[in-house]
Structure 1
Amino acid sequence: MTTRHLYLVRHGAADAAGQLTDVGRRQAGLLGERLAGVPVDAVWHSPLPRAVASARELARHLPDVPVAEAAELVDHVPYVPDAAEMPPSRAGFFDGYDDAEVAAGRRLADALVARFARAPASEGAGADTHEVLVTHAFQIAWLVRHALDAPPSRWLGLNSANTALTVIDYRDGLPPAIVMFNDMSHLPSELRWTGFSERVRP
């Protein structure tokens, strides 16, 4: 049975303008060193600059692996809960989202799942595939929620640190398997937990 291995990565630390910082470059390089031992077939990245730069940095350690943009990986809100689903602590988070933005986010979320959250195509030699997706915290949360078959609103509260690694395996006839979530073992302690607020860092 062939397996599609997805390595989900939040981009490296970025500044307020969305550009990768020196810390972010170091994080991405260390992740690239870790992934150098994996038979990676492709690196896909969001079109946003912090993800593009992260993908290029980690790909320096993956010679001859193709690197390409995937529009579905762009940062977006995948699902806006209705009032009954909304945790009280998130009550104001979605203020200002209109119906068009909500619908556009849902279309992107559906496209993300349709493109990446499935087993390999059955035709061909039947070899496993290994793909790295350099994206954003919301998109990782949405794919994890989907893998768990959890209600759509449960993507809220799932966060990923910068360049933390989440791995999901997809096989025909079986539910997706979350192999790891938010793993930072490739980072030294001073580079871990960026992307989380100071109050929640252990």
Structure 2
Amino acid sequence: MTTRHLYIARHGAADPFGTLTETGRRQAELLGKRLAALPITAIWHSPLPRAAATALELVRHLTDAPVAEAAELIDNIPYVPPAETMPASWAGFFDGYAEADAAAGRRTADALTERFATAGPAGNGVTERHEVLITHDYPIAWLVRHALEAPPARWLDLTSANAGLTVLTYRAGAAPTIMMFNDMSHLPVDLRWTGFRPGLRP
């Protein structure tokens, strides 16, 4: 049976210009140490600098895994709910968001799931893959929503902390398994919950 394990993480904390902060580098280092014992076969990252820099920090601990950019992991809004189903707390967030932007975001979201949310053929006699995806809050929410087969708007209620780890497993002929979501046990208390809006932090 072909099996694909995705270890998905939001990039480390970054400044307003998208550069990893010292906190972000420490988060990435600890994430790399956590993943170091696993047989990682590839590291994919978003084109944005904060994700690429996080992936490079991981390479120090995952030295045998090739690293590559994946356009599908870009930070984007995957789905804009229709006005009649828009949660009131999110309505202002989408003000001025054009229909063309929404359509482009959905195309990117669909490309993301088509490429990564599948067991897929491993090829060359390989039946199991372990891949790291370094991306952003919204794509992680979309992948988890997709794994749950939840309505598209449910991505709005899912948030990931910087360097929080989500693990999804895909097996040929079976429904996806969410092994964990936004796990931060590899981070000390002072490095947890960055990236969360203040009202969502415990």
Query: Which category describes the TM-score, using the shorter chain as reference length?
Result: over 0.9
For 1:197 and 1:102, how far apart are their aligned partners in 2? Answer: 23
Deviations 1:56-112 (A, max 9, x none): 001110112100100000000000000122111111110111111111101100100
Cα distance change, pair 98–154 in 1 and its aligned pair in 2 (3 A) = same
Give the match for residue 93 of structure 2.
Answer: 93
* Alpha-carbon contact 1:120-1:128 (below 8 Å) kept: no
Give the match for residue 157 of structure 1.
Answer: 157
Give the match for residue 6 of structure 2.
Answer: 6
Deviations 1:148-185 (A, max 9, x none): 00111110010000000000000111110000000000
Determine helix, strand or coil for the equivalent of 1:58. helix
State how 1:52-63 maps to structure 2 within 5 Å: 52-63=52-63
For 2:165 and 2:23, how far apart are their aligned partners in 1? Answer: 17
State how 1:161-176 maps to structure 2 within 5 Å: 161-176=161-176
For 2:118 and 2:98, how far apart are their aligned partners in 1? Answer: 31
Q: CA RMSD in A?
A: 1.0
Count of residues in correspondence between the two structures: 202
Query: Counterpart of 1:117 in structure 2: which amino acid?
Result: A
TM-fit CA distance, 1:125: 1.5
For 1:179 and 1:35, how far apart are their aligned partners in 2? Answer: 15
TM-fit CA distance, 1:3: 1.0
More helix by share: 2
Give the match for residue 103 of structure 2.
Answer: 103
Determine helix, strand or coil for the equivalent of 1:92. helix
Deviates more, 1:114-123 or 1:21-30: 114-123
Point out 4+ residue stretches in structure 1 off by more than 4 angstroms: none
For 1:53 and 1:91, how far apart are their aligned partners in 2? Answer: 33
Determine helix, strand or coil for the equivalent of 2:111. helix
Determine helix, strand or coil for the equivalent of 2:83. coil
TM-fit CA distance, 1:122: 5.8
Cα distance change, pair 14–72 in 1 and its aligned pair in 2 (3 A) = same
TM-fit CA distance, 1:199: 2.9
State how 1:40-51 maps to structure 2 within 5 Å: 40-51=40-51
For 2:7 and 2:167, how far apart are their aligned partners in 1? Answer: 5
